[in-house]
């Protein structure tokens, strides 16, 4: 089983200190929701966000939406356990059989529901759930923690080796638009002796990294037998 952990995901409710800004109030009113119950979205709340801390990493829920669609659509999905760690340290578990809304606006509505109810169910099955755990708890039962980052000192071959040689792996991908991991996050990763891998020495999007990791995982573990012979 592969644990896929999206780190510092740009997904959060509107913070109370900007909830009275006209750009937020207007959007909340149109959607008939309370300002602090809507997801922060740079495309609509840009004007309200200018004084937020770490502003350049926030208000981009489209990033995790696209990454999740790519993961859940893949043939690797049934071997992947998906976790979303958000920029404000919420941990969301996503059932790998969940059929996530493909429409962005509906995805936002679902996330607002999730933050309100802390769990989304359909027919007695939990689809999405906010967990009462810390980021470090996700790494306690794995053999290896791997982080994808432009600044990594290892390359894609190392990732293939990890997939071939280890069973329980956590792969971490940042899901924010700009900037680096926070020091707190890096400290936790280092505590678990994380390996840092650069797919390339150029900036690449979270979506591309996700696609590439999934494809390599499929090649190494999902579509190959033990001798590395491809099924397809």
**Chain contacts with a second copy (rule: CB under 8 A):** 43, 60, 62-63, 66, 69-70, 73-75, 102-106, 155-157, 199-200, 202, 204-205, 207-208, 211-212, 214-216, 218, 230, 232
Name every residue whose Cβ is closer than 8 Å to that of residue 32 and which is 6 or more positions away in sequence: none
The torsion angles phi and psi of 185, rounded to 5 degrees, stand at -65, -45
CB contact at 8 A, 24 and 46 = no
Residue number with CB closer to a second copy (130 or 216) = 216
The torsion angles phi and psi of 204, rounded to 5 degrees, stand at -130, 150
- Identify any residues that bridge with 39 across adjacent strands, giving them in sequence order: 13
Residue number with CB closer to a second copy (70 or 98) = 70
**Least distance to a second copy, CB of residue 218, Å:** 8
Residue number with CB closer to a second copy (185 or 206) = 206
Q: Is 80 left (phi over 0), alpha (psi -120 to 50) or beta?
A: beta
> 199 by DSSP, 3-state: which?
coil
- 10 DSSP assignment: S
**Least distance to a second copy, CB of residue 104, Å:** 4
- 205 DSSP assignment: -
Residue number with CB closer to a second copy (21 or 44) = 44
In whole angstroms, give the CA distance from residue 63 to residue 66.
Answer: 5
**Least distance to a second copy, CB of residue 135, Å:** 26
Residue number with CB closer to a second copy (156 or 180) = 156
In whole angstroms, give the CA distance from residue 150 to residue 210.
Answer: 13
């Amino acid at each position: 089983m592969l644990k896929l952990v999206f780190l510092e995901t740009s997904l959060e409710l509107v913070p109370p200190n900007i909830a009275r800004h006209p750009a937020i109030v207007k959007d909340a009113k149109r959607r008939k929701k309370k300002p602090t119950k809507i997801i922060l979205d740079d495309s609509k709340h840009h004007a309200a966000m200018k004084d937020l801390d770490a502003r350049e990493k926030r208000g981009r829920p489209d990033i995790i939406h696209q990454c999740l669609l790519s993961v859940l659509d893949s043939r690797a999905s049934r071997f992947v356990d998906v976790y979303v760690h958000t920029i404000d340290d919420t941990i969301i578990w996503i059932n790998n059989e969940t059929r996530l809304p493909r429409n962005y606006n509906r995805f936002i509505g679902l996330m607002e529901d999730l933050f309100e109810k802390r769990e989304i169910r359909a027919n007695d099955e939990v689809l999405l759930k906010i967990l009462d755990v810390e980021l470090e708890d996700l790494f306690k039962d794995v053999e290896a923690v791997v982080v994808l980052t432009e600044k990594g000192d290892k390359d894609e071959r190392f990732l293939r080796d990890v997939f071939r040689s280890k069973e329980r792996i956590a792969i971490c991908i940042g899901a924010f638009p700009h900037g680096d991991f926070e020091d707190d996050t890096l400290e936790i990763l280092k505590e678990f002796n994380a390996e840092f891998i650069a797919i390339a020495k150029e900036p690449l999007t979270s979506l591309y990294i996700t696609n590439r990791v999934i494809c390599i995982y499929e090649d190494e573990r999902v579509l190959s037998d033990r001798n590395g012979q491809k099924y397809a």
